[in-house]
Amino acid sequence: MNEEEVTTIQLKKSTVKKLKASEDTPEKPTMRLISNLIKMAKESKSTRQYDEFIHKIQQAKMNELWDNTEDEAWEHA
């Protein structure tokens, strides 16, 4: 990696200790760990979007099934 591709970020010392404790390989471990965390965050976001989409579809169907005049008529029978 050349100098142009590297930057410096400021982190709390406690965060750096946690990163070092989580390192899994001796070669560029913190960079790999951060890359994996970013990948996991993106996948999680994608999953949440899918779950929200399914929930919206289910809400409409549940309203159709539960909020109807036929069921209300039985409540007052």
In this prediction, residues 52-69 reach a mean pLDDT of 79
Say whether pLDDT at 13 is over 80. Answer: yes
Domain assignment present for 72: yes
pLDDT at 68 (0 to 100): 67
Rounded CA-CA distance 49/44 in Å is: 9
Residue 23 inside a domain? The answer is no
Q: Is residue 41 part of a domain?
A: no
Q: Is residue 17 part of a domain?
A: no
Structural domain for 70, as ranges:
48-77
Residue 34 lies in a domain: no
36, pLDDT greater than 80: yes
Mean pLDDT of 57-77: 73
Does 15 fall in a domain?
A: no
* Residue 16 placed within a domain: no
Three-state DSSP state, 48: helix
- The reply to whether the predicted model has a pTM over 0.85 is no
Region 10-38: what's the mean pLDDT?
Answer: 81
If you ran DSSP here, which 8-state letter would residue 26 be given?
S
Helix (H, G, I), strand (E, B) or coil at 35: helix
What is the total count of domains within the chain?
Answer: 1
The mean per-residue pLDDT over the stretch 2-13 comes to 81
CB burial string 36-65: b at 16+ within 10 A, e below: eeeeeeeeeeeeeeeeeeeeeeeeeeeeee
